[in-house]
Structure 1
Amino acid sequence: MTTTVEKPSSDAPSGGNVPLVELKNVGKSYGNITALKDICLRVHAGEVTGILGDNGAGKSTLIKIISGLHQQTDGELLVDGEPTKFGSPADALEKGIATVYQNLAVVPLMPVWRNFFLGQELRKKSFPFSLDADAMRATTLTELSKMGIDLPDVDVPIGSLSGGQKQCVAIARAVFFGARVLILDEPTAALGVKQSGVVLKYITAAKEAGFGVVFITHNPHHAHLVGDHFVLLNRGRQKLDCTYDEITLEHLTQQMAGGDELEALSHELRGGKN
């Protein structure tokens, strides 16, 4: 089945060259500890922005700021060109910014359709306290089929699905509930080659449908396959900011691995053997 994604609502206010989300010199401090400093980032409709960095680079802090979990200490966050302050993740969701975290926030023993509507269940109009299970099952099947997931039984526990399928269920859920910007937190980190391919295909489909995608990863190969724009974080600082045409996979991998620091270490280790 072909992977397709419905376009975001046509009444989305952002258009042209105005980024859906933009960070201007954003910083975040926790007391005397600086987690991020002078981060500049633009997320455009129809583009994948790859945010790369090793453990401790500041990727998680950046996600928390864009998703409304934390407020920045310095700088500006703009949505559709307007300065914005989020008080909570609900505020970000109202602006169409949805985050799919690495742990997916699913209940493994619950069926797929219950997880799809978790916290936003449909209820029968005639019996407000009764769940409309049939409508939720049908909607879940329809939305998953749009992504190319052929899952004939959405009553199976979501924990029985493959890692790639669970990622796609979480992404489809975000799209269905009105996301224009998808923040994907290490979606391929725990997946094999085949399942990673499933997720990467959907990221491309979301981009082609006009969504702005923020792809958080430590894998330069995956980022380079689908990314249009790359930002590399290192110890809370922005080390690299370039487009796909401006960098090769080899250079991106070298920068991710430590660049000059790695080369210096290589010379030191080789010299020690002489």
Structure 2
Amino acid sequence: MAQDVTGGDLIRMEHINKFFGRVQALDDVNFRVGRREIVGLLGDNGAGKSTLIKVLSGALRVTSGDIFVRGKRVEMRSTTDAIAEGIETIYQDSALVTQLSIARNLFLGREPIKGLRFFNRLDSARMDEVAGDLLRRVGIGKSIPASTPISSLSGGERQAVAIARAMYFDSDLIILDEPTNNLGVAETQGVLRFVRNARDSGHSCIFIAHNIHHVFQVVDRIVVMRRGKIVADDIDPKATSVAEVENVITGDLAGPTH
């Protein structure tokens, strides 16, 4: 069994550097996520948030530095590596196939097979049953058949399907990249509720949003990035004002830490 060098954290990224040619997008970043913790990752455009998340999710290869998952050092060479480590990323566009049904999207690439695998027959009944249960769990109250194509769902319902997929496959860490962009008030509240439910179900989350008020509603801790560096990594939203955090983001002051 690997020695837990992370002190019990689910995720720890140490001395992460990422260069694009001569441009340094990440500069000696240390970042951690605890078990069953929701971390808000904030910063202006170009601060390095997306690059950091892409490194963690395997979409980008790190230039130097170490990534630990559950105390074990891992190589994130692709998104497949991240998924195998229990890391699922939900992007603003939900990364769903709009022409396919809710059920097919929930199992995309991991569909249950009925009978001999050689014949490759999808277990549609099982998929529909699981999809119906998941939609209820993530708070879609109205009855939507699992055969409904994604293209006919609202933005909030699509986000619900994406989150449900991550929850079903027992992801330890769910990364939400701007999940409330372009959503109405009711749909936004639904997404925020899903984040809270994820924690209650034993998952950790990284929540990225430009709307700082949304972040304050759901996160346990706030991390702020500026110009490729982490400038504050332990802001308690219960003991800090929105204005104070905005000042940290813009660089008007060093920032509160608790």
Return the TM-score normalized by structure 2: 0.89
CA contact (8 A) 1:19 1:43 kept: yes
Q: Work out whether residues 184 and 216 of structure 1, in 8 Å CA contact, stay in contact via their aligned partners in 2.
A: yes
Match of 1:131 in 2: 122
Q: Deviations over 1:70-121 (max 9, x none)?
A: 2222222111122221221111111111111112111222221111112222
The 3-state SS of whatever aligns with 1:119 is: coil
RMSD (Å), alpha carbons: 2.0
Structure 1 residues 23, 126: CA separation in 2 closer, same or farther (over 3 Å shift)? closer
Worse overlay, 126-135 or 24-33: 126-135
The whole-number CA distance in structure 2 between the counterparts of 1:114 and 1:175 is 16
CA distance in 1, matches of 2:125, 2:74: 39
Residue 158 of structure 2 aligns with which residue?
166
**Separation in structure 1 between the aligned mates of residue 200 and residue 235 of structure 2, nearest angstrom:** 17
SS class of match (2:50): helix
Answer yes or no: is 1:36 the counterpart of 2:26. yes
Q: CA deviation at 1:123?
A: 2.0
Which residue identity lines up with residue 153 of structure 1 in the other structure? P
Alpha-carbon distance in 2 for matches of 1:133, 1:80:
35
Q: How far apart in 2 are the matches of 1:135 and 1:183?
A: 27
Contact 2:91–2:176 (CA<8 Å) still a contact in 1? yes
State whether structure 2 residue 126 is matched by structure 1 residue 140. no
**Which of 247, 250, 266 does residue 240 from structure 2 map onto?**
247
How many aligned residue pairs are there? 247
1:110: which partner in 2?
A: 100
- Per the alignment, residue 266 of structure 1 pairs with none
The 8 Å contact of residues 167 and 198 in structure 2, kept in 1 or not, is answered as: no
Secondary structure class of the residue paired with 2:122: coil
The alignment-based identity, stated in percent, is 38
Contact kept, 8 Å, 1:45 with 1:207, in 2: the verdict is no
3-state SS, counterpart of residue 260 of structure 1: coil
Give the equivalent residue in structure 2 for 1:197: 189
Residue among 55, 79, 84 paired with 1:89: 79
Ranges in structure 2 where 5+ consecutive residues have no aligned partner:
254-258
Structure 1, residues 209-254: CA drift from partner, whole Å, max 9, x if none?
2211011122211111111111111221212222324522221133
Distance 2:67 2:116 in 1: 43
Q: 1:61 aligns with which of 51, 70, 73?
A: 51
Q: Deviations over 1:141-194 (max 9, x none)?
A: 112212222333122211221211111110110111220100111101121222
Structure 1 counterpart of 2:196, which letter?
T
Compute the TM-score of the two structures, normalised by the length of structure 1.
Answer: 0.84
Q: Secondary structure at the match of 2:125?
A: helix
Which AA in structure 1 matches 2:124?
A: A
